[in-house]
Amino acid sequence: MTTTLHRLRALPFEIRQYLLVTGNYWAFTLTDGALRMLVVLHFHQLGYSPLEIALLFLFYEAFGVVTNVVGGWLGARLGLNRTMNLGLGLQLIALGMLMVPASVLTVPWVMAAQALSGVAKDLNKMSAKSAVKVLVPKDSRNAQGALYRWVAILTGSKNALKGAGFFAGGVLLTLIGFQGAILAMWLMLAVVLGLSLWRLRADLGRRKAKPRFREVFSTSRAVNVLAAARLCLFASRDIWFVVALPVFLYDQHGWNFWSVGILMAVWVIGYGGVQTQAPRITRHLHGDTRSITVFLAVVLALLPALLAFTPLATTVIWLIAGLLAFGILFAINSSWHSYLIVRFARAEGVSMDVGVYYMANAMGRLIGTVLSGWVYQAYGLAPCLAVSAVLVAASAGMAMGLPRHTQ
């Protein structure tokens, strides 16, 4: 233990701060994934329809849209450490709201708690992603390669932890129930917040000149085009992932909470693992930024189209295999996008450009979540996959507007 602490103290300051930001992000993401699974399974068990469950997340995603704009501005004015800690504090309040007696857990109350959780999550994520650009070494001979690796590790590890959260949510719901699970997560986050308040640097990412609020909307064409592509990309995932797939497996094939939680966890953990390796995978692609982005999206669009318009989706084994393959390709697309936004963002006030980008990310999740409940309830899983293919194709079309930087 002493040797480990000595090695940590010997690391450069920027690396120690990066590890602290990543650990903070990991802890938050673990509870966020567990909370999502708890809400989906617990309220489905109570008899809520797929559309009603989707609506429970409506404010979670809608408030995330607003948070990414305002949060980026706050990060530039106050420092990323403060916005990150604010996110942790709000998540503690949101979890506390769910520890009330079951009779109080009405739809409006849960939607309000989810709204706070959505604000918390996007403050935390925006702060972590922006901090990477601030902390990555600027004087290395391969600064862009280092930036890509750091972003890929942060993003990939986060999604692996989110997948673990899905599994933890299903297990905790089975073992200690909804209230016990919420309390366990609250205690863990309280410890993390205390550590973050103690050790995270006070002026991380803060602009010397206070930005005006009207500056939050990026004037960069590359950032705005990438944001539009990101919106379509994440809507294409969530339209089948958030509500449709877990309810389909639970209702149509008799899967229990453990089985659904394990599958969702494996998907997201594998997705996160592939994201960490995206720099090694995409280095074999040659061409400019626009061509690579469009190519990756077109290849991804083929999978949901194949599942939607062939009998494969009616067989659970082939459906799962196809969605796992979708996860691999989606992870590469997502990691590549995450690198591009940090690359295109302004060095001074990076959090504002990243905020606009993740505003689009949250809007995509919002659209995908609502469509997941509505399309599945009205038409079934195959139409969800068909719309997913259309959305990925739209993302490829948006990416045609990106600049042609040589890679």
Residue 94 CA: distances (Å) to CA of 55, 120, 318: 17, 9, 38
Contact 365, 61 (CB under 8 A): yes
CATH of domain 8-209+219-399: 1.20.1250.20
Q: Say if residues 364 and 235 touch (Cβ distance below 8 Å).
A: yes
Check: CB of residue 167 under 8 Å from CB of residue 35.
no
| Residue in 212, 182, 184, 173 with CA at minimum distance from that of residue 73 | 212
- Pinpoint the alpha helices (H) of 46-176: 50-56, 58-78, 80-97, 107-135, 143-175
Contact residues for 349 (Cβ-Cβ < 8 A; gap 6+): 76, 207, 211, 215
Q: What's the DSSP call for residue 139?
A: S
Cα distance between the two ends of the chain? 42
Give pLDDT tens digits along the chain (407 positions).
Answer: 556 555 656 555 666 676 777 777 788 888 888 888 888 878 877 777 777 777 777 777 777 777 766 766 666 666 667 777 888 888 999 999 988 887 777 878 888 888 888 888 878 777 776 666 555 555 555 555 666 676 667 666 777 777 788 888 878 888 888 888 889 989 988 988 888 787 666 555 455 555 554 555 556 778 888 888 999 999 999 998 888 888 888 777 778 777 877 888 888 888 878 887 877 887 777 778 888 999 999 999 999 999 888 876 668 888 888 889 998 999 999 888 888 887 776 655 555 666 677 778 888 988 998 888 889 888 888 899 999 999 999 999 999 988 876 55
The residues facing 406 across adjacent strands are 288
- For the chain, the domains span 8-209+219-399
Which residue, 193, 199, 201, 210, is CA-closest to 81? 201
